[in-house]
Chains A and B, each alone.
Chain A
Amino acid sequence: MTAAGNPAFNAAARPLGGGRRLPLTWLGVVPFFIYVGIFLLLPTTIIVAGSLVGPDGSISLSNFDGINRPFMFKSFVNSIEISTISAVLGAIFGALLAYAVATGDPKGFLRRSVMSAAGVVAQFGGVTLTFAFVATIGTEGIVYLWLQQHGIEMYPNGVWFFDLPGLTLIYLYFQIPLMVLVFIPALDGIRPQWREATESLGGSGWHYWRYVAGPLLFPSFLGCTLLLFANAFSAYATAAALLTQGGVILPLQVQALLTSETGSSSPGLAKALALAMVAVVLVVMSLYALLQRRTSQWLR
């Protein structure tokens, strides 16, 4: 349907546009919208649309049946598991480190160094990070060998390093710094008067953490943990470099579908998987945003 051939459309358009052409002001944003249209919105549409198109070309949800297959389901569970564990551990250790930073001089060298380093390391991942751990606690790694020389065998029941536990440990390397970066603002919002008020009202250190600092920080802590979950859930490069066996977690399943023959035979499945991942991350990030808003009212 073209606008010119439809008098009703023309009639409706006139009062809206006031009879004028598109204002020139809008030209300023055209390049940006064309660009994100092609490289962000179009791919997103391809994913959504592609996941809804069955092998025979009709619209169906059959692609999502593929996620129900046992090996696929297993990788989904693995992904959730490793993301949860690395998020919870990362959040705990990260919060401790953030606390140590926040209780120091706010303009001091230590704080600035730690924050800068955290900014770098939080983005770290992939082959390089995997190498670093292989060189440390791999079977030829310096720490592994050193412990072995001192009579301690790190892997008495088989090498867990090249499996999910190893991956979880490596994830902590970028999860902890990310936690420091996102949790510090909440800690900075805690005012020294609150501790002093608690003390003068008869409360102990335990009371302060139990009734004041704990409840104040908890929403932010929970929100940051969710962010860490999304971060681990989306991570691909590190797993690809470490895990020799394919398809153990969701991103590796997507990789397998993109690069192998089985993938080209069922193009809808990769898109359905991608959409499922986006959905999980979207839900988690929305909850994160919600909790952050709650916190920002308290800790300014």
Chain B
Amino acid sequence: MGTITRAAATGVEVRLEHLRRVFAGVVALDELSLTLAPGELVALLGPSGCGKTTALRLVAGLDEVTSGKVLFGGTDVTTLGANRRDVGMVFQAYSLFPHMTARQNVAFGLQMRRVDEQERKRRADAMLELVGLSGFADRYAHQLSGGQQQRVALARALAIQPKVLLLDEPLSALDAKVRGRLRDEIRRVQLEVGITTLFVTHDQEEALAIADRVGVMNKGRLEQLGPPTTIYTRPATPFVAEFVGLTNRIEGDVKGGEVIVRGTRLPLVRPDTPDGQAVALVRPEAVSLGSDGDAGGDAGGGPLVGTVIAVAFLGATSRVTVDLGDVIVLAQMPTSQASAHPAGSRVRLTLRPDPVLIARDETAAAEA
């Protein structure tokens, strides 16, 4: 098995050039340029209305660009209709044809390509085996669970040996447990087939777990594009810092390319930030805890002294919530360290001098 699928494992390069889409005067997508290497999986991540789905639909040919180009393997497909682009698409949910069995669904694209019936059945069954649903070929959509339906949808999209695989929030209608399993399953199949893939999601955990590179989008623009670790550890913009992962917002003073947060000097990602009051964005991982007594604690509480109010056990790491009196700060650390600070204990915080970003707007600063 897998021979026919691996035979197609010649992923093509997909290039989006200055894509722009305007709906009735509203810019949904603004100058998106992005190149996917052959066989690469890129996740577009962002809140709803950020333009990620619009981008996907433009690549699929389900929507028409206002300006810009889409190229598959160097060939301009911008003006081709969806039915002539050779893209495989998996939708959010309910996209299986309800009056067809799983096998008929998977074979549908081959039927459109006039593949003969014997061959259709053979390839459909092979695809169903690839997604782990060999025994379910004769079931109808309403006889399958949500996760199984999405596997069939994936098999259907891949059966036509498309140039590009497009996934439009394929996991968002499933419950958490199934979601994690199917996410890994999609990645396994994608790697096995070697197809260039664009994956759209609003779930950062999903994007960071599945993608070779993640593109974070906001208000129709691509804010940052990079490997998951870079996106998480070195966010390029305040939006990315706040959207991806958890972030503490702590007030401080910007002075000469640094920010002074409660007595601790932290370098800035952008040293050209003007001086003045600002809100620094600090990752929980950059916060470590020590017992208050260690530092000969003054009873009034120093600038970074507070009380532990909750400890959330996450497995290997734990997240500790500390009340500093005027602000709540999260700290994340190995569970072994966290267990030294049960709820109610006094702690002193230390901030690791990683470069930090400053929160975007005045209103955010005011409410912090």
Contacts and interface: CB of A to CB of B under 8 A. Distances in A.
The answer to whether any beta carbons of A and B sit under 8 Å apart in the complex is yes
B142 interface: yes
Contacts of B313: none
B98 interface: yes
Q: Pick the 5 closest A-B CB pairs, nearest first.
A: A201-B109, A199-B82, A202-B112, A193-B95, A200-B89
A207 interface: yes
B112 A197 contact: no
Given A207-B112, A297-B142, A200 B98 contact: no
Interface string B14-50: 0000000000000000000000000000000000000
Contacts of B62: 196, 199-200
B99 A298 contact: yes
A194 interface: yes
B95 A191 contact: yes
A191 B94 contact: yes
Contacts of B86: 202
Given A199-B82, A200-B60, A194 B95 contact: yes
26 contacts: A191-B95, A193-B92, A193-B95, A194-B97, A196-B60, A196-B62, A197-B89, A197-B91, A199-B82, A200-B60, A200-B82, A200-B83, A200-B85, A200-B88, A200-B89, A200-B157, A201-B108, A202-B86, A202-B113, A203-B83, A203-B108, A204-B83, A215-B99, A297-B98, A297-B142, A298-B142
Nearest to A215: B99
B81 A212 contact: no
A201 B112 contact: yes
B97 A196 contact: no
Contacts, number: 71
A211 B97 CA distance: 10
Interface in B69-124: 81-89, 91-92, 94-95, 97-99, 108-109, 111-113
Given A191-B94, A191-B95, A216-B98, A196 B82 contact: yes
Given A199-B62, A200-B166, 13 more contacts: A193-B91, A196-B82, A196-B95, A197-B89, A197-B91, A200-B89, A200-B157, A202-B84, A202-B86, A202-B160, A203-B112, A211-B111, A297-B98
B341 interface: no
Interface of A: 191, 193-194, 196-204, 207, 211-212, 215-216, 297-299
A202 to B, nearest CB: 4
Contact of A199 (B83, B92, B97, B157): B83
Contacts of B88: 200
A293 to B, nearest CB: 13
B156 interface: yes
B143 to A, nearest CB: 10
Contacts of A211: 108, 111
B84 to A, nearest CB: 7
A82 to B, nearest CB: 33
B302 to A, nearest CB: 58
Contacts of A216: 97-99
Interface of B: 60-62, 81-89, 91-92, 94-95, 97-99, 108-109, 111-113, 142, 156-157, 160, 166
Contacts of B156: 197, 201
Contacts of B166: 200
Nearest to B162: A200
Given A199-B62, A216-B99, A193 B82 contact: no
Contacts of A201: 83, 108-109, 112, 156-157, 160
A197 B142 CA distance: 18
A195 B113 CA distance: 17
Given A200-B83, A201-B160, A297-B142, A212 B97 contact: yes
Contacts of B81: 199
B98 A298 contact: yes
B183 to A, nearest CB: 21
Nearest to B140: A297
A197 B99 contact: no
B83 A197 contact: no
A175 B84 CA distance: 41
A196 B113 contact: no
B149 to A, nearest CB: 12
Contacts of A197: 89, 91, 95, 97, 156
A251 to B, nearest CB: 38
Given A202-B160, A203-B83, A196 B89 contact: yes
Given A201-B112, A202-B160, A203-B83, A299 B98 contact: yes
B321 to A, nearest CB: 42
Contacts of A204: 83
A252 B203 CA distance: 68
A283 B40 CA distance: 60
B91 A202 contact: no
Nearest to A200: B89
Nearest to A196: B62
Task: Name which of A197, A198, A211, A299 has the most chain B CB atoms within 10 A of its CB.
Answer: A197
A192 to B, nearest CB: 9
A87 B99 CA distance: 26
Contacts of B83: 198-204
B314 to A, nearest CB: 36
A211 B83 CA distance: 15
A198 B98 CA distance: 13
A201 B95 CA distance: 12
Task: Name which of A191, A198, A201, A207 has the most chain B CB atoms within 10 A of its CB.
Answer: A201
A198 B360 CA distance: 43
A211 B111 CA distance: 10
Contacts of A207: 112
A218 to B, nearest CB: 9
